[in-house]
């Protein structure tokens, strides 16, 4: 009996001590994830009929000068995203484009899929083209369009943060590289273009150049005004919040006077 009492005596303090331990603090709710900053531009919201025409993959020895002649006739400034290899072969064409008020953007050295390359390879593609453009026109580009519009999330950040480029995509694509015919190219551009659009085309395809006279004339008829991509970005305005949908109000029932014959 005495042994049982002693065992019980030693168990009680341990039980009390265990009961007095503080319970763990409740976990704080995790904050919602911060949305990733949008660092690519496909179109912008503008207060006015402004659009930006862009031409990729040049300069082309024969076609780009023809396009420059046409743009000069219409007094239109466009943005050319150029390939470094082509700039090295035809710097005089790039010099003319810059002299006539067109904007020059970086489109890589040899048009690879940058998303499938190492970071060092991507940096080399961008830097070599940047140096070639700067050597030709005396200023470095501030816009970059990745070939095929293809970049990884990490590449977008270091291109934007380390190189200081605005990454420009598009929202109007006539698929002119498939060469569907000048009329199809023109109709697709006219159908899809809206205020704030960035229109993609290529100045290395003859059908694209053939499509431009009718396209430019019709866009002008529609009232569009042409600016470079950098000018379009400066015209950007906040997207207005959606208007609230008003609940339908009940129509009061008409008061019918009692009939005198009732």
**Residue 202 among the catalytic residues:** yes
Integer Cα distance of 165 and 150 in angstroms: 15
Report helix, strand or coil for 208: helix
Q: How many CA atoms lie within 13 A of 55 on its CB side?
A: 28
236, burial (CB in 10 Å: exposed 0-12, middle 13-18, buried 19+): middle
Taking a C-beta distance cutoff of 8 angstroms, is the pair 129, 83 a contact? yes
- What are the backbone dihedrals phi and psi of residue 33, each rounded to the nearest 5 degrees, phi first? -65, 140
Among the listed residues 56, 57, 176, 203, the single catalytic one is 56
**Residue 69 among the catalytic residues:** no
Taking a C-beta distance cutoff of 8 angstroms, is the pair 154, 114 a contact? no
Among the listed residues 107, 202, 203, 205, the single catalytic one is 202
Catalytic residues: 56, 202
């Amino acid at each position: 009996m005495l042994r049982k009492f002693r065992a019980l005596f030693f168990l009680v303090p341990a039980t009390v001590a265990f009961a007095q331990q503080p319970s763990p603090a409740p976990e704080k709710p995790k904050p919602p994830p911060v949305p990733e900053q949008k660092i690519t531009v496909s179109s912008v919201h503008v207060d006015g009929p402004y659009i930006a025409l862009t031409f990729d993959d040049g300069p082309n020895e024969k076609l780009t000068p023809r396009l420059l002649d046409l743009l000069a006739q219409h007094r239109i400034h466009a943005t050319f995203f150029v390939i470094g290899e082509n700039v090295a072969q035809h710097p005089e064409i790039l010099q003319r484009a810059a002299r006539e008020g067109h904007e020059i953007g970086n489109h890589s050295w040899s048009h690879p899929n940058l998303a499938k390359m190492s970071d060092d390879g991507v940096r080399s593609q961008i830097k070599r083209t940047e140096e070639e453009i700067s050597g030709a026109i005396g200023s470095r580009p501030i816009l970059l369009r990745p070939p095929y519009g293809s970049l990884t999330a990490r590449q977008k950040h270091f291109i934007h943060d380390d190189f200081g480029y605005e990454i420009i995509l598009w929202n109007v694509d006539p698929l002119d590289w498939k060469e569907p015919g000048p009329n199809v190219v023109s109709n697709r551009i006219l159908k899809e273009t809206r205020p704030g659009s960035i229109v993609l085309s290529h100045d290395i395809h003859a059908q694209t150049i053939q499509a431009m006279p009718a396209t430019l004339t019709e866009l002008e008829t529609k009232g569009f005004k042409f600016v470079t991509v950098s000018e379009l970005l400066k015209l950007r305005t906040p997207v207005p919040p959606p208007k609230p949908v008003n609940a339908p109000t009940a129509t009061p029932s008409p008061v019918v006077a009692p009939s005198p014959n009732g």
